[in-house]
């Protein structure tokens, strides 16, 4: 009896030891599967903390979720302990999915049941099986180990829930671009600019005058001066000019009008048939208006001074108006045309001045006299900046002559732009003639604004015609309004409020 009791106690003790060993093994396996430093792969392989530390890719972020136990009666066989990686079985046909539930779609069972040790013993790791934890060097994708069970998560065509090896996911970090040792080809050198491009670049450099503080053409003009010369003017011998000036003095006839009549009669020549003026005087006119011009006490037609003085007296006393006196002097079928021409030339010669008529506009003394007379002329209204330009000697003398000529024709002229206040460049991108002091803008004639008064027959219309009738040496290069009358004139819509008159030298304005 005692032996039977001892035998029963031994059986009971052995049974308790077996149950304790089973429980301890299940608890240890659960700790390895759920512990923060180990994991269980989707294939059921347990990864220890040392293996996870050596290769972090073996335990991704979602690897802690153990797959649900397969309902199949036979668990997946453990891989063979060979030095090569475990062979991957053929995937199941796409039409017959594996009976195992996909792990990503069922994250709930995170802890395997401790009462079922069968899957644990089937995949219990041994020291002789390093393949699942240390991939062979020939494997180029260590981040995606081949599973032993052909589950739908790795077999078949990739879907949105099944990222491929080249598609980064939350459990697979995206590859980074190498920052060291990368060869970058050097940037190609720009081709050498041809001469045309270099010249264009030089023009662009000149554009710096368009930006502040060089928006004002006055600063540009102080840096650049036009080259060339003013076209030669028709010049009168100094003796003849003085003769006409002396003859007109004190008679009421201007020297300019007498000079105009002399040009129409003889072109300032002195042929043997007579003097430069007075050939059209009739004997009756001599008897009525003959005057001693040389102071010898006699009045003779052979005296050039007597002829000039007599014509001056006739034009002053024969009629009350200049036009009527000139028509009377140029008796004949063309007397009205000749009278009109004489008046036109008289206005021009008065604007030019006797000294300029003799010495030309290139003479420094002539320029100084023109500037002084323009500033003192009450019939020429100029803004302060323009007056400063004239005082500095920066304005082309032909512009000053034109202003005085138009003031004679229309009684007054208003200047709106010379150099100061005007931009360096035109709207088309060219250097404006204003920048060289060779252009003027006129805003009003005879007190009438150019704006809204450019109709046919108006003052602007006549002014354009008058400028085009000036001698060739005084012809502008630019005459811009709303009218195109040929020659230098052309129409631009943005010149509806002023008359632009611009000159060029014979060589043209150039940057030095």
The CATH number given to 238-352 is 1.10.530
Task: Rank 2-6, 35-39, 339-343 by mean pLDDT and report only the highest.
Answer: 339-343
Q: What is the pTM of this model?
A: 0.58
pLDDT tens digit string along 106-150? 444 444 444 444 443 333 333 344 444 444 444 444 444 444 444
Q: At what angle do helices 335-352 and 255-266 cross, to 10 degrees?
A: 130
Q: Is the pLDDT of residue 372 over 60?
A: yes
Rounded to whole angstroms, the Cα distance separating 476 from 305 reads 37
What's the whole-number mean pLDDT along residues 259-265?
93
Residue 318 backbone phi and psi in degrees, to 5: -70, -35
Residue 502 backbone phi and psi in degrees, to 5: -130, 140
Residue ranges of domains in the chain: 2-122, 238-352, 361-502
Strands 39-40 and 413-417: unpaired
Give the pair of three-digit tokens for residue 88.
Answer: 């991957």
Q: Is the pLDDT of residue 454 over 90?
A: yes
Q: Which helix (H) or strand (E) holds 338?
A: helix 335-352
pLDDT band, very low/low/confident/very high, at 206 (cuts 50, 70, 90): low
Nearest of 204, 217, 29, 211 to residue 115 by alpha carbon: 29
3-state SS class at 58: helix
Residues in Cβ contact with 267 at an 8 Å cutoff, skipping those fewer than 6 apart: none
Q: Give the range among 31-45, 90-104, 325-339, 435-449 with minimum mean pLDDT.
A: 90-104
Give the pair of three-digit tokens for residue 389.
Answer: 């330009």
The pLDDT value recorded for residue 310 is 95
Asked if residues 120 and 44 have their Cβ atoms less than 8 Å apart, the reply is no
Q: Give the range among 149-153, 240-244, 288-292, 410-414 with minimum mean pLDDT.
A: 149-153
What's the whole-number mean pLDDT along residues 474-498?
95
Give the pair of three-digit tokens for residue 264.
Answer: 């129409």
CATH class of 361-502: alpha beta
Residue 446 backbone phi and psi in degrees, to 5: 60, 35
The pLDDT value recorded for residue 205 is 53
pLDDT tens digit string along 285-328? 999 999 999 999 999 988 999 999 999 999 998 877 888 999 99
The pLDDT value recorded for residue 91 is 46
Rounded to whole angstroms, the Cα distance separating 258 from 266 reads 12
Asked if residues 421 and 383 have their Cβ atoms less than 8 Å apart, the reply is yes
What average pLDDT is seen over the chain?
74
What's the whole-number mean pLDDT along residues 431-449?
93
Tokens 């008065």, residue located: 350
pLDDT band, very low/low/confident/very high, at 38 (cuts 50, 70, 90): low
């Amino acid at each position: 009896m005692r032996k039977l009791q001892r035998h029963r106690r031994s059986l009971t003790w052995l049974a308790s030891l077996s149950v304790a060993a089973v429980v301890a093994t299940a608890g240890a396996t659960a700790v390895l599967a759920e512990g923060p430093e180990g994991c269980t792969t989707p294939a059921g392989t347990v990864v220890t903390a040392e293996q996870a530390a050596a290769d972090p890719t073996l335990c991704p972020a979602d690897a802690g979720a153990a797959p649900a136990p397969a309902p199949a009666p036979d668990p997946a066989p453990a891989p063979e302990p060979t030095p090569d990686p475990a062979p991957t079985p053929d995937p199941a046909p796409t039409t017959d999915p594996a009976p195992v539930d996909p792990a990503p779609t069922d994250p709930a069972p995170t802890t395997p049941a401790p009462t079922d040790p069968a899957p644990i013993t089937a995949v219990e790791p041994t020291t002789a099986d390093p393949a699942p934890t240390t991939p062979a060097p020939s494997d180029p994708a260590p981040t995606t180990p081949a599973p032993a069970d052909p589950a739908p998560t790795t077999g078949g065509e990739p879907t949105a829930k099944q990222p491929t090896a080249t598609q980064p996911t939350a459990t697979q970090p995206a590859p980074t671009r190498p920052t060291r040792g990368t060869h970058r080809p050097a940037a190609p050198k720009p081709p050498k600019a041809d001469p045309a491009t270099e010249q264009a670049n030089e023009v662009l450099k000149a554009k710096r005058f368009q930006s502040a503080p060089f928006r004002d053409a006055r600063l540009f003009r102080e840096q650049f001066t036009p080259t060339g010369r003013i076209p030669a003017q028709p010049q009168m011998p100094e003796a003849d000019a003085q003769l006409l000036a002396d003859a007109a003095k004190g008679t009421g006839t201007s020297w300019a009008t007498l000079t105009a009549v002399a040009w129409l009669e003889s072109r300032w020549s002195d042929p043997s048939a007579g003097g430069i003026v007075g050939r059209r005087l009739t004997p009756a006119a001599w008897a009525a208006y003959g005057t001693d011009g040389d102071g010898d006490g006699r009045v003779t037609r052979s005296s050039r001074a007597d002829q000039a003085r007599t014509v001056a007296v006739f034009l002053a006393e024969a009629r009350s108006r200049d036009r009527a006196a000139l028509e009377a002097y140029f008796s004949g079928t063309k007397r009205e045309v000749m009278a009109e021409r004489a008046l036109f030339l008289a206005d021009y010669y008065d604007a030019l001045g006797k000294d300029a008529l003799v010495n030309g506009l290139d003479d420094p003394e002539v320029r100084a006299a023109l500037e002084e007379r323009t500033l003192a002329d009450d019939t020429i209204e100029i803004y302060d900046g323009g007056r400063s330009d004239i005082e500095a000697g920066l304005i082309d003398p032909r512009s000053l002559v034109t202003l005085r000529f138009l003031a004679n024709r229309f009684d007054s002229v208003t200047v709106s732009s010379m150099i100061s206040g005007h931009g360096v460049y035109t709207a088309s991108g060219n250097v404006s003639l204003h920048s060289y002091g060779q252009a003027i803008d006129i805003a009003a004639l005879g007190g009438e604004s150019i704006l809204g008064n450019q109709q046919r027959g108006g003052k602007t219309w006549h002014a354009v015609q008058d400028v085009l009738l000036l001698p060739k040496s005084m012809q502008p290069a630019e005459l811009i309004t709303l009218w195109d009358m040929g020659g230098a004139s052309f129409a631009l819509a943005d010149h509806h409020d002023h008359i632009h008159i611009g000159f060029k030298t014979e060589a043209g304005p150039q940057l030095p």
